[in-house]
Structure 1
Amino acid sequence: MKYTKRHKAIILLADGTIFHGKSIGKQGSAFGEVCFNTGATGYQEVITDPSYFGQLMVATTAHLGSYGTHKDEVESDAIQIAGLICKNFSFNYSRPAADASLEEFLDKYDLFAISDVDTRALVSYIRDNGAMNAVISTEVDNIEALKKQLADVPEMKGLELASKVSTKAPYFVGDENATYRVSALDLGIKRNILRNLAKKDVYIKVFPYDATYEQMDAFKPDGFFISNGPGDPEPLESAITLTKEIMKHNRPLFGICLGHQIIALANGISTYKMNNGHRGINHPVKNLITGKGEITSQNHGFAINREETENHPDIEITHVHLNDHTVAGLRMKSKNVFSVQYHPEASPGPNDANYLFDQFIENIKKK
Structure 2
Amino acid sequence: MRCDYPYLAFTESGVSLAPDINFLPKVPSQFHLNLEVCLPTFFPNPSSDEERRLHSLDVRRALLFYLKRSKAFRRDQQLFVSYTSPRLGSRISSQRFSKWLTETIKTCYLLAKRPLPGPVRGHSTRAMATSVAFLKGVSLADVCGAFQPVPVQPPQASFPEGATAVLPCRLEQGHIQDYHVLWFRQQPAERPAHVLKHRLDGQIERTSGFDERFAPVRDAAANSYLLHVQELRTEDSATYWCMAEIDSFSVAVSGAGTQLSVTGGESTREPAKVILLSDAAAHLSESPDLHALCLAEQFYPGFVEITWSMSGNTVVEGVTPGEVILNDDGSYSASSVLTIPRQLLGKNASLKCSVHHYSSGSKAERSLKLC
Question: If the length of structure 1 is used for normalisation, what is the TM-score?
Answer: 0.28
From the two aligned structures, give the one with the greater helix fraction. Answer: 1
Bigger relative contact order (CA 8 A; separation at least 6): 1
